[in-house]
Structure 1
């Protein structure tokens, strides 16, 4: 039966989210091999904010609904769907999930791990898949290696701290906030905490016995990347995840030559598209980690759909430790 739903729609690209509003639109119907999900929780990511201004590499046609990952309950299934039925708790990455309902291919849905709340499950797939592709596929990080995680309080940063610990690495969590570092230290117990405000090169070298970090996970870019090349170990790996600082750094290749390190760009979704079989293995691996309770995603705060602006601002103002969640069901 046709109906309507509320959704967070981007009508035009503009600063300060001026082109974004909650609107009543037609509720989508599932087609063959598709599932309609009643969204219980959807995570906010930096690309969501960037897309409202047209600053992200993925530029959907206007108007569009934001959101990249969600958890909810199956509401209806299309022809040919046998793996799910109404009432099943599911989660997934996907586009357009800041809405009361979303239609997604059944093939990309995962049963929600019983250990995770809807909010935890919603904030899980993008961050942990990014961390997994970076640390396992790109860096081939080994137990006992030193892993320096920048932006450790953010969604992808905290996922890397969590996953690196589960892999047996020695983890240095880095942030510009002592308050955030205190939370990370209390809840995740990395081997060291480093405030980067006054620089971090010498501190990292001291922690690693002068060698430097074997792996550096960098979702920040800018000055953080510039200083990271000064404290990477010989033969180390710098993982470029993103540029939340707003500045694209440049690599002094003479330093890379002298220190023998490599820089890996990480786009977890594109990795899966280029290598489908490995992509399926990656997805299976992160959900297995969640089901076994070896990792623990953190929800910073949850907001109803009408308070989406407050949710966006937690990221824009760097207030988050973990993931911010929008709850269309409230």
Structure 2
């Protein structure tokens, strides 16, 4: 079968196509024939060797944490052969070989059925970057979000930015805001129906003050970090919560501690290890239903063939795409 692997940590050029045997199934595992795989900033972090020692499986590593495929051998699952499934949870591409391959050996608990009303590309776009799943769990489980509150999800082209806005609106936010670093991307965001602050024309704090009448936002879903974190903290309403999710703009920030003290604000970190597999599957099933009903629409920037996985990863990390970047198998 075809796969993408790397045999040492490094830049994009360590990724290379290989021809290897199908996975040998362990007890209870199912064999899934992948059709569309997603790319994720985490894939880049893992490949660069930025996780703690011992976290990543021995080389070679097949990347890819998410995607959609068809069950070929059900193993210990109750899924019928030919069932379409989405990878839901698990540590694929890290502790286990991942989805950037024709076939993957998967724990049945990480396989979620996909209905006929949702296509492979749409389901893969939902899972790529995990923005919708992250936003839903962060708002409902960590932020104590209530309908009528306001939400900021910076980074209009990214998974958390887009997923955060759409999920917040579905959950009843009175206002869901994102940001764009260029006017061109702000225009794309508005065309997609997002309330966006064009950071090329006004500061984050000024934009939030303008849109909220000076009150600030109740929740920030911060998948960007870098300078944005400190600025967003200062844009919180009294009693607001900032949930730190990712760091596409950098791992360091500066904060004014009075933004925490005077606003009685909260800072929380997010990671999927905080949630059970049942919570992840239940949430992904809800999100698939929302895709089917067109209440949310995950956007796709570009689909690359599997053999161009290195270029797909570079495009995701360096080019700031507006939507998800996928791999076709």
- Determine the structure 2 residue equivalent to 1:121: 123
Indicate which of 145, 149, 152 corresponds to 1:148.
152
CA distance in structure 2 between the partners assigned to 1:271 and 1:279 by the alignment: 10
Matched, 1:182 2:179: no
Match of 2:316 in 1: 315
Per the TM alignment, residue 326 of structure 1 is displaced from its structure 2 partner at its CA by 0.6
Cα distance in 2 between the residues matched to 1:281 and 1:67:
22
| 1:118 CA displacement | 1.0
User: Are the counterparts in 2 of residues 216 and 238 from structure 1 also a CA contact under 8 Å?
Assistant: yes
Deviation at 1:225, TM superposition (A): 0.6
**Paired residues for 1:286-297 under 5 Å:** 286-297=287-298
Q: What is the Cα deviation at residue 252 of structure 1?
A: 4.2
Shift of 1:132: 0.9
Q: Which runs of 5+ in 1 are unaligned?
A: none
Does 1:39 pair with 2:41? no
Give per-residue Cα distances to partners, 1:98-118, cap 9 Å, x unaligned. Answer: 001101011221111333221
8 Å contact from structure 1 (residues 47, 56) kept in 2: no
Q: Secondary structure at the match of 1:124?
A: helix
Equivalent-residue separation in structure 2 for 1:246 and 1:285 (angstroms): 32
1:10 maps to 6
Mapped partners of 1:196, 1:59: distance in 2: 37
In angstroms, what is the RMSD of aligned CA positions? 1.9
Tell me the CA shift for residue 147 of structure 1. 0.8
- Deviation, 1:140, is 2.3
Whole-angstrom CA distance in 1 between matches of 2:25 and 2:285: 25
Count of residue pairs the alignment pairs up: 316
Q: After the TM superposition, which segments of 4 or more aligned residues of structure 1 sit over 6 Å from their partners? A: none
Indicate conservation of the 8 Å contact 1:36/1:102, yes or no. Answer: yes
**Do the aligned residues in 2 keep the contact of 1:201 with 1:228 (CA within 8 Å)?**
yes
| Superimposed CA distance per residue, residues 154-200 of structure 1 (whole angstroms, 9 cap, x where no aligned partner) | 1222111111111121111212132233223222x23x210224521
Distance in 2 between the 1:277 and 1:224 partners? 33
1:269-291 Cα offsets, whole Å, 9 max, x none, are: 21224xx5544543443334334
User: Which of 213, 228, 234 is the equivalent residue of 1:230?
Assistant: 234
18, 21, 24: which one pairs with 1:26?
A: 21
Matched, 1:54 2:80: no
TM-score of the superposition, structure 2-length normalised?
Answer: 0.89
Aligned counterpart in structure 2 of residue 68 of structure 1, from 65, 89, 92: 65
SS of the residue aligned with 1:207?
Answer: helix
Shift of 1:261: 0.8
> Scaled by the length of structure 1, what TM-score is found?
0.89
Paired residue secondary structure (2:122): helix
Matched, 1:270 2:299: no
2:227–2:252 contact (8 Å) kept in structure 1: no
Is the CA contact 1:298–1:322 (under 8 Å) kept in the aligned structure 2?
yes
**Paired residue secondary structure (1:110):** strand
* SS across alignment from 2:188: helix
Deviates more, 1:24-33 or 1:142-151: 24-33
| Unpaired stretches in structure 2, ≥5 consecutive residues | 93-97
Cα 1:281–1:110 change in 2 (3 A) is closer
